[in-house]
Amino acid sequence: MSACCSPQRGGSSAAQDAARNTGSSQVLAELAALAASDLRMVGLQGGTFLMGSEAPEAYADDGEGPVREATVGPFAVSPTTVTNAEFAAFVLETGHRTDAEIHGDSLVFAGLLSEESKSAAPAIRDAPWWRQVSAATWLYPAGDDTSVLDRPDHPVTHVSQRDALAYAQWAGARLLTETEWEFAARGGLEQQPFPWGGVREPNGTPRMNTFPGQFPDHPDAPVGTVAATSFEPNGYGLHNMTGNVWEWTSSRFTSGQDAAVLRGGSYMCHASYCRRYRTSARSAVTPDTSLGHTGFRVGLTTN
């Protein structure tokens, strides 16, 4: 995997002793109060579908192909990724400390940082638009004192697979397998690159949140997450299955590799360097990696 999409953590950070507490109980309480009171799910019957892609825009080295038949049983999936408010409710009740807090840093897109913050944050080799930011967490995604209190309905980010699994267990749910994720993302369509069909921007209208302008230094619109319900849902009623944030699954990238599969692409994807904003696209990082463009949604096994 190229480091351009999702660089991964390379062991414990030297800033570990500076790890921040999860934040004040008042901020958490305010966020949690905005969370839905129940676990929202969309039930899917499952079935057999054509998984993967061999299209010219697919990345063969990522294992997108070959196209093959895959079958999933009935399951349910949340219509959106888990939001900041929903994750706050979990943290407030359990006291969970994320991997970013334990390590003391997380990876942030440089375009979201002030010049002062960028100068203090080491760049990632081969992907200098990523910065290792001390004290960046799900609650303080830029590592400063600006919390996500004004973004309760945005996807939670800076969470590792371990954090996602802990939330899912607390909620009485689980992460989707990679096969379930792709079945859900396709929304009942066969071999289409996007959840709504074959054209990226039908009638010139954006249908997902990806990088606007020239990546990485010349955006022509604001960059970052948008609300988890932004844009029209796919045929199964699921929002933002591509773009906005990468989503953790429970699957491994390869059988012999300690890396978990991410799906869906993010607000940092751009055709000039990363076309992984498609239903078949894959990425992977180690389970303890946290990133400013990675979140998750949850699922349930049904009968």
pLDDT in tens, 142-177: 998 889 999 999 999 999 999 999 999 999 999 999
| Prediction pTM value | 0.93
Question: pLDDT (tens digit, 9 = 90+) per residue, 237-273?
Answer: 999 999 999 999 999 999 878 899 999 999 999 999 8
Q: What is the pLDDT of residue 255?
A: 80
Percent of the chain clearing pLDDT 70 (strictly above) = 93
Query: Token pair for residue 8?
Result: 């991964």
Whole-angstrom distance, CA of residue 154 vs CA of residue 86: 10
The single-letter code of the amino acid at 194 is F
Question: pLDDT (tens digit, 9 = 90+) per residue, 196-236?
Answer: 999 999 999 999 999 999 999 999 999 999 999 999 999 99
Task: Give me Rg for the CA atoms of the chain.
Answer: 18
Which of residues 59 and 7 earns the better pLDDT score? 59
The distance of Cα 34 from the centroid of its chain, to the nearest Å, equals 21
The single-letter code of the amino acid at 39 is L
Cβ(26)–Cβ(46) under 8 Å? no
Model confidence at 24, pLDDT cuts 50, 70, 90, reads: low
Angle at 176 between CA 90 and CA 297, to 5 degrees: 40
Q: What is the pLDDT of residue 145?
A: 82
Q: Is the per-residue pLDDT at 75 higher than 90?
A: yes
Cβ(171)–Cβ(94) under 8 Å? no
Question: pLDDT (tens digit, 9 = 90+) per residue, 168-203?
Answer: 999 999 999 999 999 999 999 999 999 999 999 999
Whole-angstrom distance, CA of residue 140 vs CA of residue 98: 12
> In terms of Cα–Cα distance, which of 203, 281, 204 is closest to 4?
281
Model confidence at 18, pLDDT cuts 50, 70, 90, reads: very low
Q: Is the per-residue pLDDT at 26 higher than 90?
A: no
3-state SS, 236-295, equals CCCCCCCCCCEEEEEEECCCCCCCEEEECCCCCCECCCECCCCCCCEEEECCCCCECCEE
Task: Provide the β-strand partners of residue 109.
Answer: 130
Q: What is the pLDDT of residue 16?
A: 39
